[in-house]
Structure 1
Amino acid sequence: MHIGILTVSITLPGCGSLKEKRQRLGGLHERFGRSPSVAVCESGGRDRHDASEWSFVVVAGARRDVESQCSQIEDKLVRTIDGRILNINREFL
């Protein structure tokens, strides 16, 4: 069993409320959390309007499968986020 933790820091320029933040980041949990091998949560910046941190925990039988899933998540985030990705960190357990 291999586990990867992908942590993504996002800034949301011009975001003035938590409601707008939810609209701009809406669907992250639903889009990525559907897979039985991925758990998703907002792990930081919950009370900030202009920033957020999200963590994705990926579990698979082989490390290359975990790495592939993390790469797919990163690619999709870069294409779909209505904000700027400041940092992406990968950790494997």
Structure 2
Amino acid sequence: MNIGILTLRISLPGCASLKEKRQRMRGMHQRYGRNPTVAVCESADRDSLETSEWTFVAVGQTVPEVESLCSEIEDRVQRTVDGRVMEATREIL
């Protein structure tokens, strides 16, 4: 069993309220939490208006499987979130 931890720091320029932030980040749990091999949470910057940090934990049988899943998540977040990924860090355990 291999575990990958992907942390994404997302910039939300022009975000004026926490309500707007939640609307822009809406659906992260639903999109990624459906997969039984992925856990997701907002891990930092909960009260910050212009940044958000999300951590994804992916589990797989092989390291390439986990890396592929992390890459897929990162690519999909970049395409679907109304913001810009400023930093992405990965760790394979």
Category of TM-score, reference length = shorter chain: over 0.9
Q: Which residue of 2 aligns with 1:58?
A: 58
TM-score (norm 1): 0.97
Identity over the aligned pairs, expressed in percent?
Answer: 59
Q: Which runs of 5+ in 1 are unaligned?
A: none
Q: CA RMSD in A?
A: 0.6
Q: How far off its partner does 1:5 sit?
A: 0.2
Q: Which runs of 5+ in 2 are unaligned?
A: none
Deviation track 1:17-50 (CA, whole Å, cap 9, x = no partner) reads 1110010010011101110000000001001111
The answer to whether structure 1 residue 10 and structure 2 residue 10 are counterparts is yes
Counterparts of 2:33 and 2:90, CA distance in 1: 18
Runs of 4+ in 1 over 6 A off after TM superposition: none
Counterparts of 2:37 and 2:48, CA distance in 1: 29
Q: Which residue of 2 aligns with 1:26?
A: 26
Counterparts of 2:19 and 2:11, CA distance in 1: 15
Counterparts of 1:75 and 1:12, CA distance in 2: 17
Q: How far off its partner does 1:71 sit?
A: 0.8
